[in-house]
């Protein structure tokens, strides 16, 4: 009875046997601080878009990136197809205006991803495992912030790049377009740094992820709504300076004003900074926001128990 | 040379003194660090990793000064924290690879090492599932794997058996012993359970209230103990009969828990005497096991706070 006799052998031996080779020491290269920080940065950047994480965590960032690109795609399509018909000689929506038009999407992205990157390590106390490794505490904080900033920059700048390429395709003057686009890229970097800094700071103080998401959304959306409302009233009542000062208090209006001042971009707010003094105030406020967020984060993490 | 050496190491917090002039030398092999909760074990580990500065005194780990070469030490040392520290939404495999990179391994090497180390700690297919669904035992294994992934020269294991059921506890202790003996990695393992460390460590350091209570080879602790637990059956008063026979034979015997008898070991023939007497009485020998309690006795005899010079 071959069937019976072969039965015990088949069930007795597991299909895949793992042979114990014993412990093998590692004699290969060990990387220094720089490459380790770079690997940490890349992992953080990938995680922000859900890469290397579960399928569920890819959904939101990818949908937001798609929604950010969609209007740009339509604008480019109109520009390329109907340039002569509509007598267009520049972008339908200015590069510097685009982030304001899509500010809701950008805020949701930052609000969702800052806690995923920042609060997560604090809540699960995974940070202990990082601190027990060669990387210094300050480097950990700065690299985490860099990952979030670059991820946000990619989200803001991707549609701008699409519009720029579309503009070239539609035979807009290349020199002028390149200049405006580069100005917008600088604006996108600064906006990403402001948003990521503020969101990271809120997330670092809010260990519960759901609360952190809500807190960041509130900070970004409420500040933007309040600022634009004040600006609207200021214009209506003839107090432009009030509106210009109010513009300092939302990252979106701040960076847009900065671009108006630095690169003479078309203004997207009712009260852009008028005059050099106000323009410089916008520059200082931007620097303070970014450096303040970094400083606040470093202070916050000094108190995190290892 | 000692793997860890501390001289007059002191750590004061505003309200408590966590470590008080601690002089300890830890050598290769497995060293148990015993002490009640709050005895200063975790504080000592954090100072050794260069994460917390000492108030006074000095310490070296693998020849590096903890005050100035923390980064170098952390690249050579693996640390398994006492508390939960694993993110729920990644797999053990991904996490250990990532942390291997964070310890300075190139990506390909980190992958290979992670796979090796997860096999050694006994995480099979479940290593690809999110850690959130793991049992406590599996989490402890994953925590141990991340401490080993970069092939450290020393691992600091803070309460690795915490929260484990008895069989997982035995597995973990066996792993700790393997790391020290087979892997050739020096181990400092802490526990507040005194009995379990004597089974795996070559050397035991006892801390009490931040001070060194005792530091000596585990065998020294056990020598003083030597007693046997004996259980016999066959007659209702079997234990009393054997006890009397043992006392008549000149041994020190006393009733222990249940119907067992505790016999002081006089020399290596004592077990044979017990066996022969049992046979002579026509009883059945159910069990005869060594009993060591001695590490606990350090607390009982020495009395908390009475420091003996090492």
Closest CA to B284 of B245, B230, B244: B230
A36 neighbourhood in chain B, CB within 8 Å: 101-104
Phi, psi (rounded to 5 degrees) for B8 = 55, 30
Checking if the pLDDT of B265 tops 50, the result is yes
CB neighbour list of residue A36: distance below 8 Å, 6 or more residues apart: A133, A134, A135, B101, B102, B103, B104
Q: Is residue A178 part of a domain?
A: yes
Phi, psi (rounded to 5 degrees) for A113 = -95, -25
E-only strand ranges, chain B: 4-12, 17-26, 30-34, 56-61, 64-65, 77-80, 154-157, 186-191, 203-208, 211-217, 227-233, 253-255, 261-264, 284-291
Global confidence as pTM: 0.83
B64 and B32 in one domain? Answer: yes
pLDDT of residue B308: 40
B275 and B263 in one domain? Answer: yes
Q: Is residue A49 part of a domain?
A: yes
B72 and B195 in one domain? Answer: yes
Q: Is residue A173 part of a domain?
A: yes
| Cβ–Cβ under 8 Å, residues B144 and B122 | no
A306 neighbourhood in chain B, CB within 8 Å: 46, 49, 51-52
A31 neighbourhood in chain B, CB within 8 Å: 104-106
Of B81, B102, B109, the CB nearest to A36: B102
Query: Partners of B228 in the beta sheet?
Result: B263, B290
Distance (Å, whole) CA A159 – CA A69:
5
B190 and B41 in one domain? Answer: yes
Size of interface A-B (CB pairs under 8 A): 97
- Contact criterion met (CB < 8 Å) for A133 and B116: no
Residues 217-236 of B with CB under 8 A from A: none
* Token pair belonging to A194: 């402001």
Chain length of chain B = 310
The four Cα atoms A84, A86, A91, A97 give a dihedral, to 10 degrees, of 180
pLDDT of residue A259: 95
Whose tokens are 């597991």? That residue is A14
The tens digit of pLDDT for each residue in B48-89 reads 999 999 999 999 999 999 999 999 999 999 999 999 999 998
- Using a CB–CB cutoff of 8 Å, tell me whether B182 touches chain A: yes
- Contact criterion met (CB < 8 Å) for A124 and B74: no
Q: Is residue A208 part of a domain?
A: yes
- Contact criterion met (CB < 8 Å) for B74 and A57: no
B230 and B215 in one domain? Answer: no
B260 and B199 in one domain? Answer: no
- Using a CB–CB cutoff of 8 Å, tell me whether B304 touches chain A: no
Count of helix runs (H) and strand runs (E) in chain B: 11, 14
Q: Is residue A184 part of a domain?
A: yes
- Contact criterion met (CB < 8 Å) for A134 and B74: yes
| Among chain A residues, CA nearest to B183 | A23
Q: Is residue A1 part of a domain?
A: no
Q: Which of B104, B134, B144 to mutate to test the interface with A (most CBs of A within 10 A)?
A: B104
Its domain, for residue A160, covers 33-302
Q: Is residue B300 part of a domain?
A: no
Q: Is residue B307 part of a domain?
A: no
The tens digit of pLDDT for each residue in A171-230 reads 999 999 999 999 999 999 999 999 999 999 999 998 888 899 999 999 999 999 999 999
> Which contacts qualify for A239-244: CB closer than 8 Å, 24 or more apart?
A240/A271, A240/A274, A241/A278, A243/A269, A243/A270, A243/A271, A244/A271, A244/A272, A244/A273, A244/A274, A244/A278
Of B46, B85, B107, the CB nearest to A124: B85
Of A26, A29, A132, the CB nearest to B79: A132
Q: Which of B103, B128, B134 to mutate to test the interface with A (most CBs of A within 10 A)?
A: B103
Q: Is residue B218 part of a domain?
A: yes
Whose tokens are 């830890």? That residue is B26
Q: Is residue A21 part of a domain?
A: no
Whose tokens are 């809500």? That residue is A214
- Using a CB–CB cutoff of 8 Å, tell me whether B76 touches chain A: no
B155 and B21 in one domain? Answer: yes
| DSSP 8-class letter at B130 | B
Q: What stretch of H or E contains B251?
A: none
Whose tokens are 């999407």? That residue is A105
Domain boundary pick from B184, B204, B222: B222
- Using a CB–CB cutoff of 8 Å, tell me whether B83 touches chain A: yes
Q: Which of A129, A147, A305 to mutate to test the interface with B (most CBs of B within 10 A)?
A: A129
Q: Is residue A5 part of a domain?
A: no
Q: Which of B46, B51, B85, B107 to mutate to test the interface with A (most CBs of A within 10 A)?
A: B85
| Cβ–Cβ under 8 Å, residues B31 and B204 | yes
Phi, psi (rounded to 5 degrees) for A164 = -65, -45
- Contact criterion met (CB < 8 Å) for B103 and A128: no
Of A23, A30, A35, the CB nearest to B183: A23
| Among chain A residues, CA nearest to B104 | A31
Q: Is residue B297 part of a domain?
A: no
Q: Is residue B310 part of a domain?
A: no
pLDDT of residue A83: 85
Distance (Å, whole) CA A46 – CA A22:
35
- Using a CB–CB cutoff of 8 Å, tell me whether B51 touches chain A: yes
A128 neighbourhood in chain B, CB within 8 Å: 81, 83, 85
B189 and B147 in one domain? Answer: yes
B66 and B8 in one domain? Answer: yes
The tens digit of pLDDT for each residue in A18-41 reads 566 689 999 999 999 999 999 999
- Choose the most confident range, by mean pLDDT, from A6-15, A17-26, B99-108, B166-175: B99-108
CATH number of the structural domain spanning residue B259: 3.30.70.100
Q: Is residue B299 part of a domain?
A: no
pLDDT of residue B20: 92
Q: Which of A254-258, B5-9, B239-243 has the lowest mean pLDDT?
A: B239-243
* Token pair belonging to B1: 């040379």
> What does the pLDDT profile of chain A (306 residues) look like in tens digits?
444 444 444 445 555 665 666 899 999 999 999 999 999 999 999 999 998 887 888 999 999 999 999 999 999 999 998 888 888 888 999 999 999 999 999 999 999 999 999 999 999 999 999 999 999 999 999 999 999 999 999 999 999 999 999 999 999 999 999 999 999 999 999 999 999 999 999 999 988 888 999 999 999 999 999 999 999 999 999 899 999 999 999 999 999 999 999 999 998 999 999 999 999 999 999 999 999 999 999 999 998 877
B104 neighbourhood in chain A, CB within 8 Å: 30-32, 35-36, 134
Distance (Å, whole) CA B187 – CA B77:
10
B277 and B154 in one domain? Answer: no
CATH number of the structural domain spanning residue B199: 3.40.50.300
Q: Is residue B306 part of a domain?
A: no
- Contact criterion met (CB < 8 Å) for A132 and B150: no
| Cβ–Cβ under 8 Å, residues B32 and B189 | yes
Its domain, for residue B145, covers 4-222
B204 and B169 in one domain? Answer: yes
Q: How many domains does chain B have?
A: 2
Within 13 Å and on the Cβ side, how many CA atoms surround A269? Answer: 37
Interface confidence, given as ipTM, is 0.86
Q: How many domains does chain A have?
A: 1
| Among chain B residues, CA nearest to A18 | B119
pLDDT of residue B309: 38
| Among chain A residues, CA nearest to B70 | A134
B85 neighbourhood in chain A, CB within 8 Å: 124-126, 128-129
Q: Is residue B298 part of a domain?
A: no
- Contact criterion met (CB < 8 Å) for A121 and B87: yes
Of B86, B182, B183, the CB nearest to A124: B86
């Amino acid at each position: 009875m071959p069937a019976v006799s072969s039965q015990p052998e088949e069930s007795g031996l597991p299909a895949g046997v793992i042979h114990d080779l014993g412990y093998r020491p590692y004699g290969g290269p060990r990387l220094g601080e720089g490459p380790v920080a770079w690997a940490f940065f890349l992992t953080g950047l990938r995680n922000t878009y859900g890469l290397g994480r579960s399928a569920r965590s890819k959904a939101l960032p990818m949908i937001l990136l798609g929604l950010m690109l969609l209007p740009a795609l339509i604008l480019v399509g109109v520009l390329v197809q109907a340039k002569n018909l509509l007598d267009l000689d520049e972008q339908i929506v200015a590069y510097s205006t685009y982030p304001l038009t899509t500010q809701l999407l950008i805020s949701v992205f930052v609000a969702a991803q800052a806690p995923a990157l920042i609060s997560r390590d604090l809540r699960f106390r995974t940070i202990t495992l990082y601190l027990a490794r060669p990387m210094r505490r300050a480097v950990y904080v700065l690299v985490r912030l860099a990952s979030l900033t670059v991820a946000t920059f990619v989200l803001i700048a991707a549609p701008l790049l699409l519009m720029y390429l579309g503009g070239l395709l539609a035979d807009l003057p290349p020199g002028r377009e390149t200049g405006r686009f580069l100005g917008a890229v600088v604006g996108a970097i600064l906006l990403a740094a402001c948003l990521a800094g503020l969101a990271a700071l809120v997330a670092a103080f809010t260990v519960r992820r759901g609360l952190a998401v809500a807190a960041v959304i509130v900070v970004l959306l409420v500040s933007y709504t309040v600022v634009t409302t004040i600006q609207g009233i200021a214009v209506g009542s003839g107090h432009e300076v009030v509106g210009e000062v109010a513009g300092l208090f939302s990252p979106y209006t701040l960076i847009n004003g900065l671009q108006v001042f630095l690169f003479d971009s078309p203004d997207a707010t009712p009260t852009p900074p008028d005059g050099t003094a106000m323009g410089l105030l916008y520059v200082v406020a931007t620097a303070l926001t970014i450096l303040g967020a970094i400083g606040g984060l470093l202070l916050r993490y000094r108190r995190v128990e290892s | 040379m000692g793997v860890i050496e501390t001289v007059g190491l002191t750590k004061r917090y505003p309200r408590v003194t966590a470590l008080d002039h601690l002089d300890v030398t830890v050598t290769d092999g497995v060293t148990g660090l015993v002490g009640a909760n709050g005895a200063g074990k975790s504080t000592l580990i954090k100072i050794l990793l260069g994460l917390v500065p000492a108030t006074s005194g000095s310490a070296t780990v693998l020849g590096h000064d903890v005050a100035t070469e923390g980064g170098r030490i952390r690249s050579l040392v693996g640390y398994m924290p006492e508390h939960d520290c694993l993110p729920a939404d990644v797999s053990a495999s991904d996490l250990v690879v990532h942390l291997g990179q964070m310890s300075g391994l190139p990506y390909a090497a980190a992958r290979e090492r992670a796979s090796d180390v997860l096999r050694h700690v006994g995480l099979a297919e479940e290593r690809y599932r999110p850690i959130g669904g793991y049992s406590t035992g599996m989490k402890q294994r994953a925590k141990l794997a991340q401490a080993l992934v970069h092939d450290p020269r020393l691992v600091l294991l803070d309460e690795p058996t915490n929260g484990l059921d008895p069989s997982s506890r035995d597995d973990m202790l066996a792993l700790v012993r393997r790391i020290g003996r087979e892997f050739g990695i020096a181990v400092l393992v802490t526990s507040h359970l005194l009995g379990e460390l004597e089974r795996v460590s070559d050397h035991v350091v006892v801390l009490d209230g931040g001070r060194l209570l005792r530091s000596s080879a585990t065998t020294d602790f056990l020598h003083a103990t030597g007693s046997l637990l004996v259980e016999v059956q066959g007659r209702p008063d079997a234990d009393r009969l054997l006890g009397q026979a043992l006392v008549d034979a000149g041994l020190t015997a006393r009733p222990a828990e249940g119907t067992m008898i505790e016999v002081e070991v006089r020399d290596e023939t004592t077990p044979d005497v017990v066996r022969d007497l049992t046979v002579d009485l026509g009883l059945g020998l159910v069990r005869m096991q060594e009993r060591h309690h001695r590490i606990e006795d350090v607390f009982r005899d020495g009395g908390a706070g009475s420091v003996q010079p090492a």
